[in-house]
Amino acid sequence: MPDLGLSLREYINAGSPAASGLYRENFPIDQINADNAIGATGVITAMLVAVRPGDVITKATVVVGATAGATLTHKYFALYSNITVPALIGTQQADDTGAAMAANTAYTGTLGATFTVPAGTYSLWVAICITGTTPPTLIGKTTNVNATAAAALNTLAGGTRANGLCVTATGAASVAPATLASITQLAVQPYVLLQ
């Protein structure tokens, strides 16, 4: 079996992916347990995803839950580095001005250019920003961990992470900002798949 970035368990649960595809996810699909509201209109929701040096990333996918996105004006994916003040890396998805994101469907955005994970990089932020009257819900999981508890857990584990596993940050309607600013820990994590 080729290195697909999925453990044997995910390979069995999700079915056999295309042999030539790269698949990286922020958590295993069998942990999905919620239909989550995300950041407000125009706010970035970013999920931390483990990657490997040399991975070539072309697109990202989330799954809309029961609440469809309606009267939308902008949406895009972008990649950010995993540093204290995450910086935009690679090329964001072209601004999608479609007015809707249908309920219970996958939404995939293709980056403007492929991104190759550099040496020494093992995680990055996958950001999605949706602007409009009714942002959709996204399926994922709940962590029930607020920002203070996340910091305590990080300290317990001996880590030095400044941010959590899923955050909101200041967005921009059609162009991804240079950095993730005003970061706030979320107690939910939408599921995201990189290919």
Pairing of strands 88-89, 106-116: unpaired
Instruction: Give counts: helices (H), strands (E), the chain.
Output: 2, 13
- Angstrom distance (rounded) from CA 10 to CA 57: 20
- The CA-based angle 45-50-51, given to 5 degrees, is 115
CB 166 within 8 A of CB 127: no
Print pLDDT tens along the chain (195 aa). 344 455 555 556 655 555 546 689 998 888 999 999 987 899 999 999 999 999 999 999 999 999 999 999 999 999 999 888 899 998 899 999 999 999 999 999 999 999 999 999 999 999 999 999 999 999 999 876 665 666 566 666 555 555 667 788 888 889 999 999 888 878 789 999 999
Both tokens of 126, joined, read: 């996958």
pLDDT at 83: 87
Structure tokens at 104: 């219970």
**What topology does CATH give the domain 8-194?**
Jelly Rolls (2.60.120)
- Provide the pLDDT for residue 42: 93
Question: What does the pLDDT read at residue 2?
Answer: 43
For the chain, the structural domain boundaries read 8-194
At 88 the pLDDT is 96
pLDDT of residue 154: 60
What pTM, to 2 d.p., does this model score? 0.86
Closest CA to 153 of 167, 186, 161: 161
pLDDT of residue 15: 57
Question: For position 134, what pLDDT does the model report?
Answer: 95
